[in-house]
Amino acid sequence: MEIRAAVARPPGVFSLETVELDAPRAGEALVRIVAAGLCHTDVAALDQHLPYPLPAVLGHEGVGFVEAVGDGVTRLAPGDAVVLTYGACGVCANCQSGRPAYCLQSRRLNFAPCRPDGSCSHHALGRPLSAGFFGQSSFATHALVRERNAVKVPGAVTADELATLAPLGCGVQTGAGAVLNVLKPAVGSTVAIFGMGAVGLSAVLAAKLAGCSRIVAVDLHAGRLDLAAELGATDLVRAGDGPAGPQVQARVAGGTDFAVEATGIPSVMADAVASTHRTGTTVLLGLAAAGSSVTFDASLLLSGRTVRSSIEGDGVPEVFIPRLIALHRAGSLPFDRFCRHYPVDAINDAVADCRRGDTIKPILHMDAGDFRRFGRSSAAA
């Protein structure tokens, strides 16, 4: 079938093109995309900091409705509303032990430019396009996904509500999961969160939900810190006013119980570790450039501190995403507060706004009529 997709050809810019998409094969589903979040990982691939082969169809926070399924698909049916997320094989040792974010086939299923069998699902101008980014390539009117990439939305859902759920596939799942699944803070715990992007703000929301008594938000931008305060942060630290670790230590005597690092900047990673007290735990979420090194005083680790990383918030998508949807519907996880909506034709504007920090989480609507009916171009930085 012919679809419309945002194609990255030269690095740095998208073009809207007509693309030929295969029919779903065994184990695949065809999803009509309603909306897709724009993540910094998409921008990294667009700019080739993440070396995904171009030309390519990117996008990995898609939501939509199933239109057709291939042979062997049993968990999805036409008409199902779904949130798309990362790919995992489901059968390796890590998947079988409930840790699909660490699937042993993750690179092949999320970052290969074609299907696992080497066939290409997308073509334009008679030539193949790299596609299957995070198992979906959702910057398009339609996406082909494997069954495990799609999580059904419980209950009745409109296209408008579905559009608001797009960030659950990666950003919100990562930030909220770091707190709820990895750190699991007891009520009254203290936490410092570095980087008030979509991931960091999701961690702020989750820390408030968990009952943390002190939530220290760290960022360079005053506007983002103000939004963090509205969402539950109790203390604000401007990162540009000197090393943030000592500032956190001054706010919370001795340091926090936990720290979440969501920037991927090596110096900030070191600051996060230094912000915790003896026996504190830091979880690293940011994607650092390949070959980067983090330098900190080795004596920090002699005091019982723990440092670990997390992918996708250690969530099991078919369990965690419905939980996040329920929390959002109850008003307990208002991540829509940091989203701004764009028609897909404005995708390059969304990228520019994201690069400047004017928008925290852009959400792209694939149908101009749907975008106009949505009637919101809400919050930003």
Query: Could you tell me if 6 and 146 lie in one domain?
Result: yes
First to last CA, the chain: 38
Query: Could you tell me if 201 and 124 lie in one domain?
Result: no
pLDDT for 116 equals 86
Query: Could you tell me if 255 and 115 lie in one domain?
Result: no
Query: Could you tell me if 339 and 305 lie in one domain?
Result: no
pLDDT for 295 equals 86
Query: Could you tell me if 263 and 193 lie in one domain?
Result: yes
Asked if residue 189 belongs to a domain, the reply is yes
CB atoms within 10 A of CB 126: 6
To which H or E segment does residue 343 belong? strand 339-343
Asked if residue 365 belongs to a domain, the reply is yes
pLDDT for 141 equals 98
Cβ pair 300, 277 in contact under 8 A = no
Query: Could you tell me if 147 and 61 lie in one domain?
Result: yes
Query: Could you tell me if 293 and 346 lie in one domain?
Result: no
Query: Could you tell me if 211 and 252 lie in one domain?
Result: yes
Q: Which of 210, 195, 207, 248 is nearest to 231 (CA)?
A: 207
Q: Which of 324, 313, 371, 359 is nearest to 99 (CA)?
A: 313
Query: Could you tell me if 304 and 340 lie in one domain?
Result: no
Query: Could you tell me if 89 and 181 lie in one domain?
Result: no
Locate 246 and state its tokens.
């000592």
Could you tell me the CATH number of the domain that includes residue 132?
A: 3.90.180.10
Asked if residue 321 belongs to a domain, the reply is no
Could you tell me the CATH number of the domain that includes residue 210?
A: 3.40.50.720
Produce one character per residue of 185-213: b if its CB has 16 or more CB atoms within 10 Å, e if not.
beeebbbbbbbbbbbbbbbbbbbbebebe
Q: Which of 56, 123, 58, 112 is nearest to 87 (CA)?
A: 112
Domain region containing 365: 2-152+334-374
Rounded CA separation 230/225 (Å): 9
Asked if residue 35 belongs to a domain, the reply is yes
| Structure-token match 């790299």, residue found | 130
Query: Could you tell me if 189 and 280 lie in one domain?
Result: yes
Distances (CA, A) of 356 to 17, 219, 249, 359, 381: 26, 14, 30, 8, 10
Which are the contacts of 329, defined by CB distance < 8 A and separation ≥ 6? Answer: none
Total domains, the chain: 2
Asked if residue 219 belongs to a domain, the reply is yes
Q: Which of 255, 275, 310 is the last residue of a domain?
A: 310
Asked if residue 225 belongs to a domain, the reply is yes
Cβ pair 198, 171 in contact under 8 A = yes
Q: What is the pLDDT along the chain (381 residues), one digit of tens a residue?
A: 999 999 999 999 999 999 999 999 999 999 999 999 999 999 999 999 999 999 999 999 999 999 999 999 999 999 999 999 999 999 999 999 999 999 999 999 999 999 988 999 999 999 999 999 999 999 999 999 999 999 999 999 999 999 999 999 999 999 999 999 999 999 999 999 999 999 999 999 999 999 999 999 999 999 999 999 999 999 999 988 788 989 999 999 999 999 999 999 999 999 999 999 999 999 999 888 778 888 888 887 788 999 999 999 999 999 999 999 999 999 999 999 999 999 999 999 999 999 998 999 999 999 877 777 775 544 445
Asked if residue 256 belongs to a domain, the reply is yes
Query: Could you tell me if 141 and 19 lie in one domain?
Result: yes
Phi/psi of residue 174, nearest 5 degrees? -70, -50
Asked if residue 168 belongs to a domain, the reply is no
